[in-house]
Amino acid sequence: ELTTELLNKWMAAFAKKIEANKAYLSDLDTPIGDGDHGNNMARGMVAVEDALNAKKPADLTSALKLVAMSLISKVGGASGPLYGTAFLEMAKLSAKETDLAKLTEAALLGIKKRGGAEPGDKTMVDVWSVVVPALAKGELTEEVIQKAVESTKPMQAKKGRASYLGERSIGHLDPGSVSSGYLFSALLEVEG
């Protein structure tokens, strides 16, 4: 179950991982993108932390909305609106449902609808589409996350900037999948 308190801890843990891996994420985005994914996400997560600490939203829906708006306005690129949509969909559902599996399911549907990517397209959807059902079954582990992240390496990108490279996108991890991996590793950490 997601509470405001857990969300605060989750976002703090995610922000920490993003900051620690900022250069790595941008390096991953260099051969198959424009080398900014780490910087984009770090800028966004600083904004998320600032907003949560300044406004201290009392209810889960406002808190999720604040996360979404911070990401949409600060991350930019392709990933900003997609992460933003994910949290906005969670915010919408959170008025009547606080189960994490249900919330992340809504988030994944939002990401797919917004970006048009399906599993196998070498995008963050490849991580979300594995993690969400695992979470629902109570089977989410660090290993499941890492396997999903690694699965993007042999894929040829069909969506996003990396798709412009065609076959040359093969053999590299998808940066948005790696950052999504951090999001769910952070969740495992704080769920305890």
Beta-carbon contacts of 149 under 8 Å, excluding residues fewer than 6 positions away, are: 127, 173, 177, 178, 180, 181
Query: Crossing angle, helix 125-136 and helix 142-150, to 10 degrees?
Result: 150
Q: Which of 36, 49, 89, 105 binds ligand ADP (CB under 6 A)?
A: 36
Among 52, 60, 78, 148, binds ligand ADP (CB under 6 A): 78
Closer CB to ligand ADP, 68 or 124, in the complex: 124
Q: Binders of Mg ion among 50-79, rule CB under 5 A?
A: 77
Beta carbons of 129 and 119 less than 8 angstroms apart: yes
Nearest to 134 by CA among 67, 188, 189: 188
Interface with ligand ADP, residue 37, by CB under 6 A: yes
Site track for Mg ion across 10-49, x = CB under 5 A: -------------------x---xx-xx------------
Establish if 49 lies at the interface with ligand ADP (CB under 6 A).
no
User: Contacts from 17-22 at CB under 8 Å and sequence distance 24+?
Assistant: 17/182, 17/185, 17/186, 18/42, 18/45, 18/179, 18/182, 19/45, 19/46, 21/178, 21/182
Q: Which is nearer to Mg ion, 31 or 53 (CB)?
A: 31
Q: Work out how close the CB of 182 gets to ligand ADP at its nearest, in angstroms, rounded to a whole number.
A: 12
Question: Residue 67 is inside which H or E element, if any?
Answer: helix 60-74
Give the range of 30-38, 47-55, 66-74, 92-100 binding ligand ADP by CB under 6 A: 30-38
Positions that interact with ligand ADP (CB under 6 A): 29, 33-34, 36-37, 40, 77-79, 82, 111, 115-117, 123-125, 159-161, 174-177
